[in-house]
């Protein structure tokens, strides 16, 4: 590319450590002469600076008072309005800001205007001298010699072994941080209990949904029947079981072989948990039939069984097979046919065991 | 014979179009559901309203939505969309649309309240659809907390938990809900304008919708207790603020601090 | 060294009460020696040296405000019904952690202020650490003897991010809960052990009932303790090395020029703590941060549009957004020997962050290897005088910023009225070409600035004064620099490529050849500083061209 030294006489470029010979460099002229400040020469200016510093410290006192008044005079009773809280917050902020900035700017102004501003030069010292290094080596040699660790390999080796094994209990005690995963991720609450199919119910109130309630273009956020009555692990179950229920023109759905009966008159139910990293995919565009995840923008096409058409997800959303019971309510005919949510190492194994 | 059939062709054709429209969009709607029937709506509209509305429609809307609102390539059929859809789309200025694009923007309404009312009357007369909500559902005196829960489950993923709006695919977006009237929020829920899903009365009950409106109006009136809300956009605007304003002010102080006093 | 010698010394007795007290302590801790060593220690002064202090002070403010918050916060995930004063959440089912966070915001006097101080200080803490590291990188302050302190700084950056993330999750609101869910999804993508790590972290399935209290322990005990430890190590090394200084007259690698610690520097640095506190207090008083009451309690079903992490995790989230899951039919999630390899999550979560931190931690050694430079450097490089390094830094920064921007792709789409998908496509392209463009542009700009410096050093500054010469020519008068200002522009070392050198056996190794190639790439484009000879020649040049009559006007 060439040398851009603009006719510099030195372009041999063989030494990276020193570009120029000393003679060809400008000599360091040393520290520039000290320039006096106004306050150094004019006693009036100094007096003025002094008063300014004092005024800044006084502002700080005012700030402290504002804080205390705001804290004690405004009482957050039971019926405190948002406006009161906002007022108090702003006053506490302004009080603290004045109190702190008053002290801070006061001290700095004092230092800048009144304290000596002569720049001084100090020599750097070697971080390590050769003398120190030799002394340290001698000391270490002596220590090693006195322990006799080199002469007594038996002691050395047993100690190494002991030290290597000693942390194991520390690791072991963390073994109960959580249970083993087993196949917990493969099953959800939708599996029928004692042969009774679970109804699809509204999130959050848990009331069952009739097929006739689901009109074209509508989207229902669904939880399984009985979820709200769980006493333990409610959120864990909900995290796997949430479903989005939508109705489309049956003609626009293109169910693949074996999935024809998973919907009901154009009503389909898909897991809301993104197959990417698990955000709820709840943004349903009723005209384009796209589902969008708000976290990472994975887009799923409902008319292609929720195939990924954009974004970082790789796998379609799992479909929940549904039907209508005697009373006209929507029910899940089985659990999901695959684990829901983000992928994990054992997922494929679990999927195979679900379908076997 | 010929003369007779020619005479009759006109009304028959209109009926046929109407039926087709029903089948295309509102068909299953009307068949499969008993919800959202136009309760009080027809009573509110007089025959004059309908006639005036038809004239307005033919002059302003028929280019895209077709004669008899049966739809064309440029605009969907409006048979069965109900008075609520018209009141929402025209009342918020989204219709008439300025230009074709991913979605219609909210803008100053082009028709006054009477005209909007007349247009709504005409479209409502074409087929049963969601009506303009009754006043008592818009009184903002519902349960804000329950409305908040419904809002978070059904609306927040598109409109943002603080109703600040959000992006959809390919240029579409869910608008912010501040400054939107309770009536229009209600109508949007029951009609599902553009890509918004429909939340019919069996999905979210009228009382639930009232709660949602109460919640939205309450958080809007409250404002943010912590000071300026930075657009309620979450960590992005906070991060931007700390980098630009926070660090900016601090850098200004450091420059002052290390500069020489004259 | 014995009792006898101490006894012989005349005992010092202080005159005042304070003096006697000080003497008592001093005799037992040896304070005089410390003061003698450090009391007048010299610190160079420059605004860009203050970011480390901003970070330190933010951390102190975090400790203070955080302590207040712990008095009221309850990290339990037990279910409760909100009974506080915020009506839009009245009686809503939520965790105790979220409920107590709301109580801090609405029912503890000054609690909201403290929460906002804490969160703003946290954002500022990580931001100032980042800016401090950028300053250190671009000025070459990581060179010998400071390589290890650079690494300590990198560790501090990671710890700062960890502190921020563990704190972000504590209120157990919808936003942070979805953040945790994303973390869970990323953890599950780890091959072989991912599922187990997830179950161990969450104490079972997500979200479980223990994660908040576990993060709380990390957030208020382990992470701050490690940060404190690292700060001590960091500052200890700063004392050992003494501070670097910008090049200028009177400054070289053997001295340090600045103000003595007492009184000027101590006053400025001490006063600056109050200034940083004041600025944070202003932000906390007037600008809402993390309005948890908007988000509602965590529930796995809802999510809010615009779900983003705090800014410092944004780049990783952005990388997750940019990665396509499927490229022309190839699914990045594929099955290998019956197990699932989730590359569409693993790659973006690990590769960019891995790349950035690997380069960050190893860069001092990379440059050291290329230059074979084993000297101590205490005088900084102006970024323009190390064009390739500056360009590498800007390329890395751009790489980071593209991912960072990607984390707000949805907000870019809505606020600039462009399609979300297009934003992603553009950023995907920029992910690859952005750093290259940044490298080339930065290097050219740096070289251009160096040429400008040469120009000014040789011909003086443009005064803006146009003079018409007697023969009709118009010229702009250049004011020559005084020698101090000129030295600032010319007093730097311009490294040239170092060709491959044979080793002790007289062989040029492959590795040495590679090094030489890199050295050429690093230093072949260079602008050497102006020399006295050139200045002389320049004056002659002027005289020759402008001829005698213009000479008088020109020299001013």
Buried b (16+ CB within 10 A) or exposed e, A302-336: beebbebbbbbbbbbbbbbbbbeeeeebbbbbbbb
Structure tokens at C534: 């050139």
CA–CA distance from B163 to each of A86, B145, B185, B214, C430 (Å)? 20, 15, 12, 13, 31
Do residues C392 and C356 make contact, with C-beta atoms less than 8 angstroms apart? no
Chain C, residues 175-214, CB within 8 A of chain A, namely 178, 181-182, 184-186, 188-196, 198-208
pLDDT for C6 equals 52
- Domain regions of chain A by residue span: 38-114, 198-355
Buried b (16+ CB within 10 A) or exposed e, C541-554: ebeeeeeeebeeeb
* Cβ-based neighbour number of residue A144 at 10 Å: 11
Contacts for B7 with CB less than 8 Å, ≥ 6 apart: none
pLDDT for B11 equals 53
Q: Report the interhelical angle of A43-73 vs A82-113 (nearest 10°).
A: 160
Chain B environment of C290 (Cβ under 8 Å): 235, 238
CA–CA distance from A187 to each of A329, A335, B150 (Å)? 23, 7, 27
Q: Please tell me which residue, C301 or A1, carries the higher pLDDT value.
A: C301
Q: Which residue has the tokens 């829920």?
A: B189
pLDDT for C552 equals 36
- HSE, CB side, 13 Å, CA atoms: give it for residue C20: 4
Residue C175 DSSP class: H
Do residues C278 and B207 make contact, with C-beta atoms less than 8 angstroms apart? no
pLDDT, mean of residues A86-112: 96
Map out the domains of chain C with their CATH numbers: 10-40 (no CATH), 46-246+265-295 (1.20.810.10)
Q: Do A295 and C182 lie within an 8 Å CB cutoff? A: yes
Contacts for C439 with CB less than 8 Å, ≥ 6 apart: C391, C392, C394, C395
pLDDT, mean of residues B115-126: 91
CATH superfamily of A198-355: Rieske [2Fe-2S] iron-sulphur domain (2.102.10.10)
Chain A environment of B195 (Cβ under 8 Å): 285-288
Say if residue C545's pLDDT is above 70.
Answer: no
DSSP, residue by residue, C345-383:
HHHHHHHHHHHHHHHHHHHHHHHHHHHT--S---BPPPG
Map out the domains of chain B with their CATH numbers: 47-126 (1.10.760.10), 135-222 (1.10.760.10)
∠ CA B85-B88-B92, rounded to 5°: 150
CA–CA distance from B150 to each of A1, A40, B157, C398, C509 (Å)? 66, 70, 12, 42, 71
* E strands in chain B: 166-167, 173-174
CA dihedral C500, C503, C506, C507 (to 10 degrees): -60
Terminal Cα distance for chain C, rounded: 69
Interface with A, mutate which of B35, B147, B148, B169 (most A CBs under 10 A): B169
Q: Do A19 and C277 lie within an 8 Å CB cutoff? A: no
Write the pLDDT tens digit of every residue in C490-524: 988 888 899 998 988 889 999 999 999 999 999 98
Interface with A, mutate which of C271, C391, C525 (most A CBs under 10 A): C271
pLDDT for B9 equals 53
Buried b (16+ CB within 10 A) or exposed e, C119-154: bbbbbbbbbbbbbbbbbbbbbbbbbbebbebbbbbb
**Partner C contacted by B228 (CB < 8 A):** yes
Picking from A202, A215, A294, the nearest residue to B32 by CB comes out as A215
Interface with A, mutate which of C43, C45, C263, C531 (most A CBs under 10 A): C531
Confidence of residue B39 (pLDDT cuts 50, 70, 90): very low
Chain C, residues 216-275, CB within 8 A of chain A, namely 240-242, 249-250, 252-260, 263-264, 267-268, 270-275
Share of chain A above pLDDT 70, in %: 92
Q: Do B149 and C294 lie within an 8 Å CB cutoff? A: no
∠ CA C545-C547-C550, rounded to 5°: 110
Write the pLDDT tens digit of every residue in C368-416: 999 999 999 999 999 999 999 999 999 999 999 999 999 999 999 999 9
Structure tokens at B51: 């006639």
Chain A, residues 221-250, CB within 8 A of chain C, namely 221, 223, 233, 235-236, 238-240, 242
pLDDT for B20 equals 55
Confidence of residue B100 (pLDDT cuts 50, 70, 90): confident
Write the pLDDT tens digit of every residue in B131-152: 899 988 999 999 999 999 999 9
Say if residue B29's pLDDT is above 70.
Answer: no
For residues C252 and A25, give the distance between their C-alpha atoms in angstroms, rounded to a whole number. Answer: 14
**Partner C contacted by A356 (CB < 8 A):** no
Chain B, residues 51-80, CB within 8 A of chain C, namely none
For residues B189 and B210, give the distance between their C-alpha atoms in angstroms, rounded to a whole number. Answer: 11
Say if residue B41's pLDDT is above 70.
Answer: no
Write the pLDDT tens digit of every residue in A111-136: 999 998 888 999 998 999 999 999 99
Going across the sheet that includes A330-332, the strands are: A319-320, A267-271, A243-247, A219-224, A198-202, A330-332, A322-324
Chain A, residues 217-246, CB within 8 A of chain B, namely 217-221, 246
Q: Do A215 and B195 lie within an 8 Å CB cutoff? A: no
ipTM: 0.91
Q: Which helix (H) or strand (E) holds C80?
A: strand C79-81
Contacts for C366 with CB less than 8 Å, ≥ 6 apart: C359
Do residues B57 and B123 make contact, with C-beta atoms less than 8 angstroms apart? yes
Do residues A142 and C309 make contact, with C-beta atoms less than 8 angstroms apart? no
Structure tokens at B146: 């329950």
Q: Do B169 and A299 lie within an 8 Å CB cutoff? A: yes
pTM, two decimals, is: 0.91
Do residues C477 and C556 make contact, with C-beta atoms less than 8 angstroms apart? yes
Write the pLDDT tens digit of every residue in B42-53: 457 888 889 999
Q: Which helix (H) or strand (E) holds A246?
A: strand A243-247
Confidence of residue A1 (pLDDT cuts 50, 70, 90): very low
**Partner C contacted by B168 (CB < 8 A):** yes
For residues A341 and C11, give the distance between their C-alpha atoms in angstroms, rounded to a whole number. Answer: 78
Question: Strand, helix or coil at C194?
Answer: helix
Contacts for C550 with CB less than 8 Å, ≥ 6 apart: C469, C470, C475
Q: Scanning every residue of chain A, which has its alpha carbon at the shortest distance from the alpha carbon of B166? A: A294
Do residues A54 and A46 make contact, with C-beta atoms less than 8 angstroms apart? no
Residue C333 DSSP class: E
């Amino acid at each position: 590319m060439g040398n851009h030294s603009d006719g510099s006489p030195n372009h041999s470029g063989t030494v990276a450590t020193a570009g120029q010979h000393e003679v060809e460099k400008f000599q360091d002229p040393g520290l520039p002469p000290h320039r006096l400040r106004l306050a150094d020469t004019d006693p009036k200016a100094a007096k003025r600076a002094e008063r300014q510093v004092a005024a800044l410290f006084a502002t700080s006192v005012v700030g402290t008072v504002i804080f205390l008044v705001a804290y004690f005079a405004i009482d957050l009773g039971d019926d405190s309005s948002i406006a009161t809280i906002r007022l108090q917050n702003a006053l506490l902020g302004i009080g603290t800001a004045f109190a702190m900035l008053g002290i801070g700017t006061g001290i700095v102004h004092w230092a800048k205007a009144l304290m000596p501003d002569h720049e001084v030069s100090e020599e750097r010292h070697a971080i390590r001298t050769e003398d120190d290094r030799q002394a340290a080596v001698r000391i270490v040699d002596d220590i090693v010699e006195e322990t006799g660790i080199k002469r007594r390999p038996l002691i050395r080796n047993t100690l190494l072994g002991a030290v290597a094994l000693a942390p194991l209990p520390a690791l072991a005690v963390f073994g109960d941080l959580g249970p083993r995963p087993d196949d917990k991720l493969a099953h959800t609450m939708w599996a029928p209990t004692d042969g009774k199919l679970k109804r699809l119910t509204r999130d959050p109130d848990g009331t069952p949904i009739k097929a006739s309630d689901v009109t074209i273009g509508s989207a229902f956020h669904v939880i399984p029947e009985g979820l709200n009555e769980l006493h333990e692990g409610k959120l864990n179950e909900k995290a796997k079981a949430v479903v989005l229920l939508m109705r489309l023109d049956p003609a626009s759905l293109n169910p693949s072989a074996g999935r024809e009966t998973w919907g009901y008159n154009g009503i389909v139910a898909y897991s809301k948990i993104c197959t990417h990293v698990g955000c709820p995919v709840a943004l349903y565009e009723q005209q384009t039939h796209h589902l969008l995840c708000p976290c990472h923008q994975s887009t799923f096409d409902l008319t292609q069984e929720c195939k990924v058409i954009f974004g970082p997800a790789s796998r379609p959303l799992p479909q929940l097979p549904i039907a209508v019971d005697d009373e006209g309510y929507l029910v899940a005919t089985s659990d999901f046919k695959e684990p829901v949510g983000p992928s994990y190492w054992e997922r494929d194994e679990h999927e195979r065991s679900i379908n076997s | 014979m010929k003369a007779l059939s020619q005479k009759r062709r006109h009304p028959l054709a209109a009926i046929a179009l109407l039926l087709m429209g029903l089948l295309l969009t509102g068909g299953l709607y009307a068949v499969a559901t008993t919800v959202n029937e136009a309760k009080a709506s027809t009573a509110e509209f007089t025959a004059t309203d309908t006639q005036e509305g038809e004239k307005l429609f033919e002059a302003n809307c028929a280019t895209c939505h077709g004669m008899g609102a049966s739809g064309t390539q440029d605009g969907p059929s409006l048979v069965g969309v109900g008075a609520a859809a018209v009141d929402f789309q025209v009342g918020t200025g989204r219709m008439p649309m300025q230009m074709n694009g991913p979605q219609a923007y909210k803008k100053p309404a082009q028709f006054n309240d009477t005209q909007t009312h007349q247009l709504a009357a005409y479209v409502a007369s074409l087929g049963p659809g969601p009506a303009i909500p009754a006043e008592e559902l818009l009184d903002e005196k519902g349960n804000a907390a329950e409305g908040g829960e419904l809002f978070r489950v059904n609306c927040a993923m598109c409109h943002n938990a603080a109703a600040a709006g959000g992006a959809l695919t390919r240029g579409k977006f869910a608008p912010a809900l501040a400054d939107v009237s309770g009536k229009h929020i209600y109508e949007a829920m029951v009609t599902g304008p553009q890509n918004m899903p429909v939340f019919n009365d069996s999905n979210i009950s009228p009382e639930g919708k009232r709660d949602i409106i109460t919640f939205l109006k309450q958080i809007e009136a409250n404002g943010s207790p912590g000071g300026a809300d930075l657009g309620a956009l979450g960590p992005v605007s906070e991060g931007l603020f700390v980098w630009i304003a926070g660090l900016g002010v601090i850098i200004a102080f450091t420059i002052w601090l290390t500069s020489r006093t004259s | 060294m014995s009792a006898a010698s101490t006894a012989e010394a005349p005992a010092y007795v202080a005159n005042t009460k304070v003096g006697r007290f000080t003497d008592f302590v001093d005799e037992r801790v040896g304070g005089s020696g410390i003061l003698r060593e450090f009391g007048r220690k010299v610190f160079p002064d420059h605004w860009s040296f203050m970011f480390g202090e901003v970070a330190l002070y933010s951390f102190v403010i975090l400790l203070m405000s955080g302590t207040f918050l712990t008095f009221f916060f309850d990290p339990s995930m037990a279910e409760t019904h909100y009974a506080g004063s915020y009506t839009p959440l009245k009686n809503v089912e939520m965790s105790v952690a979220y409920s107590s966070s709301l109580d801090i915001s609405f029912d503890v006097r000054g609690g909201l202020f403290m929460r906002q101080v804490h969160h703003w200080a946290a954002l500022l803490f990580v931001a100032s650490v980042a800016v401090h590291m950028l300053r250190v990188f671009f000025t070459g302050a990581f060179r010998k003897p400071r390589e290890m302190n650079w690494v300590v700084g990198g560790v501090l950056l990671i710890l700062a991010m960890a502190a921020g993330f563990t704190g972000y999750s504590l209120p157990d609101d919808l936003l942070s809960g979805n953040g945790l869910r994303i973390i869970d999804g990323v953890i599950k993508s780890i091959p072989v052990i991912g599922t187990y790590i997830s179950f161990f972290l969450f104490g079972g399935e997500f979200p479980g009932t223990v994660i908040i209290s576990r993060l709380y322990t990390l957030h208020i005990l382990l992470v701050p303790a490690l940060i404190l430890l690292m700060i001590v190590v960091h500052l200890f090394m700063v004392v050992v090395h003494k501070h670097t200084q910008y090049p200028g007259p009177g400054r070289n690698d053997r001295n340090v020029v600045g103000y003595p610690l007492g009184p000027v520097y101590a006053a400025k640095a001490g006063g600056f703590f109050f200034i940083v506190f004041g600025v944070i207090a202003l932000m906390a008083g007037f600008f809402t941060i993390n309005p948890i009451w908007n988000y509602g309690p965590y529930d796995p079903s809802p999510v809010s549009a615009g779900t983003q992490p705090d800014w410092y995790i944004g780049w990783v989230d952005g990388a997750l957004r940019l990665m396509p899951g499927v490229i022309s039919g190839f699914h990045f999630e594929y099955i290998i020997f019956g197990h699932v390899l989730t590359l569409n999550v693993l790659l973006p979560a690990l590769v960019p962050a891995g790349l950035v931190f690997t380069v960050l931690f190893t860069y001092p050694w990379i440059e050291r290897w290329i230059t074979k430079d084993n000297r101590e450097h205490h005088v900084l490089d102006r970024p323009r005088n190390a064009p390739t390094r500056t360009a590498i830094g800007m390329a890395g920064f751009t790489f980071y910023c593209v991912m960072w921007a990607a984390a707000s792709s949805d907000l870019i789409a809505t606020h600039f009225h462009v399609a979300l998908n297009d934003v992603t496509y553009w950023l995907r392209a920029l992910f690859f070409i952005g750093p290259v463009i940044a490298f080339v542009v930065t290097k050219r700009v740096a070289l251009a600035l160096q040429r400008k410096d040469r120009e000014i050093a040789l011909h003086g500054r443009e005064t803006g004064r146009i003079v018409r010469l007697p023969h009709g020519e118009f010229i702009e008068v250049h004011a020559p620099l005084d020698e101090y200002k000129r030295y600032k522009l010319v007093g730097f070392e311009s490294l040239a490529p170092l060709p491959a050198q044979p080793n002790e056996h007289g062989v040029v190794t492959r590795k040495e050849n590679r090094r030489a190639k890199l050295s050429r790439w690093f230093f072949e484009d260079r602008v050497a500083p102006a020399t006295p000879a050139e200045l002389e020649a320049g004056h002659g040049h002027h005289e020759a061209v402008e001829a005698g009559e213009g000479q008088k006007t020109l020299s001013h």
